[in-house]
Amino acid sequence: MNDFAAARSQMAISLGFHIIYSCIGMVMPFFMAVSHYKWIKTGNIVYKNIARAWSKGVAIFFATGAVSGTILSFELGLLWPKFMEHAGPIFGMPFSLEGVAFFIEAIALGFFLYGWDRFSDGFHWFTGLLVGISGIASGILVVSANSWMNNPAGFDYVNGQYLNIDPIKAMFNGSWFAEALHMTLAAFSATGFAVAGVHALMIAGKKNVLFHTKAFKIAIVFGAAAAILQPFSGDIAAKNVYKTQPTKLGAMEAYFHTQAYAPLVFGGLPDTVSKTVKYGIEVPGLLSFLVHDNFADPVNALDKIPVKNQPPIGITHFAFDLMIFIGSAMMLLGLLYFLALWKKRSWLDKKWFLNLFILAIPSGFIAVEAGWIVTEVGRQPWIIYGIMRTSEAVTPMPGIRYTFYLFTAVYFTLSLAVIFLLSRQIKMVPELYDTKK
């Protein structure tokens, strides 16, 4: 593995794990706050126990999210010093604000975790909610920084010089809203389904059914609502990608030839030599419809772009289809839940119904990872779209493959440790929170 590939892989591994930790760390506080609120309103101790149990999860994920985020803020410079040298002053605004939001999150978390029976209910509840709000704000800001790499704004690029820098314009570039909305909904649906699925597993095993049923409901309402809204934000995002990064859209759809009634291809194996997709299912006109809202208008394809400026097509297309497939399944599952809630209450404790949600535990995170592969791999060969190539940004230090191996080992170990800890938390629910005792 050469150093450039190693640097990209190390960045991918670091981001891939950080995304999971931070999604859970920023969304779970909302579940916790709802349960906490219900306890304050109803006095039902089960809700307090759920909030306490979830707060342990939040603490674990905040700690792992914080350290992996700290590592990333250094890795930007350690792996991509030339990129940071030029991009830092332009897209740094959201990072500065994120530092503030993250700081507030850490302070609020200190209050919340150590504040049981120390502060008034209202203040204590508010600090828990603040953990979530500042967490989401951090997430949106970081995604806004990423969107600038996809859709650079706030400077003039003249003869290799970055002039007239305006960090505020860079922050509010044309893609920040589409990306931030899509990611925020993704975080809610992935975390909602994952948390709900774990509680469904416990219900299916007849363990502390009352506790887990209430917990399941809070988590799945968030997850299902977000999953149902997600396709709409996906549509906004796709139109925005076509407008700003036609190469990425071309790779996502494995769409080689510019044509009217542009087809959408599901699945298949893109062949970059013959510029065809084998074994795919083609729906004529659908891509035109997605991009232009009518079936006839031509859509620009990869043939408009020199091959040296094209991203890897196979992996981008596959990741995109995977994301769409899982996202659609989650949306249907979300609709099924609301149907059960309103019309078919008897389904809620049926084995098959619970099994569907158990099966869906990892689904949201697989879709999130696939989505980020589309975003990041689909932007290649650029680190700043159309301005700077990723290969120009990489550190001159040789031997990056060794740090890549090291970080890969570290992240896998860390994740195993987190899973181990969570399983112990869940195992101890009867002892710690059983109200019958």
Partner 1 sequence: MLYVVIAFLFLAILLYFLLGGADFGAGIIELFTSEGNKSGTRKIMYQAIGPIWEANHMWLIIAIVILFVGFPVIYSDMCTYLHIPMLVMLLGIMARGTAFAFRSYDAIKGERSQNFYNHIFVYSSFITPLFLGIIAGSAISRQIDLHAATFTAAYLFSWLNYFSVAVGLFTVALSGYLAAVYLIGEAENQNDVKRFIRKAGQMNVIAVVFGGLVFITAGVENIPLPYWIFGNPVSLSAVIAASISLVIQWVLISKGKKKIIRLSAGFQVTMVLLAVGYMHYPNFVMIKGGGNLSLLTLHATSKTIYDLGVALLVGSLFILPSLWYLYYSFQKKADDGKH
User: Which residues in this chain contact partner 1 in the complex, by CB under 8 A?
Assistant: 56, 59-60, 62-64, 66-71, 73-74, 76-78, 81-82, 84-90, 92-93, 95-100, 102-104, 106-111, 113-115, 118-119, 165-168, 395-399, 403, 406, 410, 414, 417, 421, 424-425, 427-428, 432
Q: How far is the CB of 99 from partner 1 (least distance, A)?
A: 5
Amino acid at 193: F
What are the tokens at 323?
């994301």
Instruction: Confirm if 282 and 219 have CB atoms less than 8 A apart.
Output: no
Q: Among residues 310 and 403, whose Cβ is nearest to partner 1?
A: 403
Are 226 and 192 in contact by the 8 Å Cβ rule? The answer is: yes
Residue 278: which H helix or E strand, with range?
strand 276-278
Per-residue tokens: 298: 């031509």
Give start and end residues of each alpha helix (H) in 245-312. 246-252, 286-292
Find how far residue 9's CA is from the centre of its chain.
Answer: 18
The residue (of 355 and 395) whose beta carbon lies closer to partner 1 is 395
Prior bond to 29 cis, omega within 30? no
- Minimal distance, residue 343 CB to partner 1, in Å: 38
Maximum CA pair distance of the chain?
74
Cβ 136 to partner 1, closest distance in Å? 16
Instruction: Return phi, psi of residue 156, to 5°.
Output: -110, 135
Q: How far is the CB of 279 from partner 1 (least distance, A)?
A: 43
Closest CB to partner 1 among residues 7, 333: 7
- Minimum CB distance to partner 1, residue 135 (Å): 13
Smaller CB separation from partner 1, 59 or 315: 59
From residue 293, how far is each of 167, 287, 290 by CA, in Å? 34, 9, 6
Handedness of CA 390, 393, 396, 397 (dihedral sign): negative
Residue for token pair 């494995």: 254
Nearer to partner 1 (CB atom), residue 48 or residue 86: 86
Residue nearer to partner 1 on the CB measure, 64 or 189: 64
Q: Give 7 or 374: the residue with its C-beta nearer to partner 1.
A: 7
Q: For residue 184, give both structure tokens.
A: 């925020």
Distance in Å, CB of 402 to partner 1, minimum: 10
CB of 60 to partner 1, least distance (A): 5
CB of 100 to partner 1, least distance (A): 3
Contacts 24+ apart (CB under 8 A), 120-126: 121/40, 122/40, 124/36, 125/33, 125/36, 125/37, 125/40
Q: What angle do CA 20, 24, 30 make, to 5 degrees?
A: 160
Which CB, 1 or 283, lies closer to partner 1?
1
Report the C-alpha gap between 189 and 256 in whole angstroms. Answer: 33
User: Residue 261 CB, nearest distance to partner 1 (Å)?
Assistant: 47
Question: 3-class DSSP state for residue 301?
Answer: coil
Closest CA to 7 of 414, 405, 389: 405
3-state secondary structure of 151: coil
Q: Which is nearer to partner 1, 5 or 397 (CB)?
A: 397
Q: In the bound complex, what is the minimum distance in angstroms from residue 320's beta carbon to partner 1?
A: 32
Which C-beta is closer to partner 1: that of 84 or that of 315?
84
The nearer residue to partner 1, 1 or 417, going by C-beta atoms, is 417
Backbone angles phi, psi at 381, to 5 degrees: -85, 15
Q: How many CB atoms lie within 10 A of CB 278?
A: 9
DSSP state of 259: B
Least Å distance, CB 7 to partner 1, is 11
